[in-house]
Amino acid sequence: MNTGFFAQPNPPYRRANYNFAYQWIEEVGSLAALLAHVEALRAADPAHRYLCTLDDIQQGSYTSGHASQDDRLYLDSPPDMDWDDPAQEAAWDLQALQHRARQLREAQGPQRWADVCGSLAVSASDIDALLAANRAPDLLLDDVVYIQRLPLAEGDPLIAGQPNGYFSADWDSFQNHAIHQHLAEQHGYQLLAMGAAWMALARVQPPGAAQAQALVEDLRALYAQGNEALLAHAGWQALPALLQMQRTLVLGYTEDMADRWE
């Protein structure tokens, strides 16, 4: 695992739309190793929150930039803003982050869990991809992973630091936040990484048998509600045992999950 910091002179990577990019990592190796690294950062610096990239870092930057333009998230910059002044730009980035967190936290409507369930166009091959991705989550990691160091309060939505869900057929930032919130409250999973098509969450310990089964029942509702064939997909039977072996959970949030897995 090779690491470096964006604060160093002439870093080899651009921050792009990851405004709070703090560290880059090459050759992460596994999602479990990334989780351990992030947990060490959190333990050493409890005043900040940490969020990673996952699959396709460049596409994730592109869609995140557009997702941030959502009228519900976007904040106009001051008319006298001097974009050549790093201090002003840093202050503006913080203000925009806090605005997105507040909007996500306070918004009402389709971000509620019940309204998100069954709202993504999903096929049997997508459920196959969901199972395959949780069987081999390391394959989702891009060659380089960015870690953002976010000055967010514990109760703030972590996705505010990397909003995603840009295309109209995908779950948007508010729907993704509803998923994160439900999985945190009901199953103990916290957001770890947002990618261009997939997101990763993690809990303190792998779930037990009953916990894993309850989680899968919620995932069935999330992806297959209203579709009897998808609710009966054999993959749901295999998923609980798989999740009991790991602390992480990966979920697709785009209409083409299977294509984005391949």
Written as one letter, the residue type at 195 is G
User: Chain centroid to CA 93: how far?
Assistant: 20
What is the SS3 assignment for 69? coil
Which pLDDT score, from 0 to 100, does residue 8 have? 87
pTM of the entire predicted model: 0.95
CA–CA dist 72, 81 (Å, integer) = 22
Which pLDDT score, from 0 to 100, does residue 58 have? 96
What is the SS3 assignment for 193? strand
Q: Whose structure tokens read 């002179």? A: 9
At residue 31, φ and ψ (nearest 5 deg) are -65, -35
Q: Say if CB 255 and CB 169 are below 8 A apart.
A: yes
Q: Would you tell me the crossing angle of helices 209-224 and 173-187 to the nearest 10 degrees?
A: 160
Q: What is the DSSP annotation of 147-184?
A: EEEE---TTS-GGGGS----STTS--HHHHHHHHHHHH
Q: Say if CB 44 and CB 258 are below 8 A apart.
A: no
Specify the DSSP element, H or E, that contains 200. strand 198-202
Q: Say if CB 51 and CB 193 are below 8 A apart.
A: yes
Please name every residue paired with 252 in a beta bridge, in sequence order, or none if there are none. Answer: 198
Work out whether strand 190-194 and strand 2-5 pair parallel, antiparallel, or are unpaired: unpaired
What is the SS3 assignment for 68? coil
Q: What is the pLDDT along the chain (262 residues), one digit of tens a residue?
A: 899 999 988 999 999 999 999 999 999 999 999 999 999 999 999 999 999 999 999 999 999 999 999 989 988 877 777 777 788 888 889 999 999 999 999 876 556 899 999 999 999 999 999 999 999 999 999 999 999 999 999 889 999 999 999 888 999 999 999 999 999 999 999 999 999 999 999 999 999 999 999 999 999 999 999 999 999 999 999 999 999 999 999 999 998 888 877 6
Tokens of 193: 């990484």
Q: Would you tell me the crossing angle of helices 209-224 and 124-135 to the nearest 10 degrees?
A: 150
Q: How many helices (H) and strands (E) does the chain have?
A: 10, 7
Which pLDDT score, from 0 to 100, does residue 174 have? 94
CA–CA dist 179, 201 (Å, integer) = 11
CA distances from 181 to 104, 238, 259 (A): 11, 25, 27
Q: What is the DSSP annotation of 104-146?
A: HHH--STTSHHHHTT-S---HHHHHHHHHHHHSGGGG--SEEE
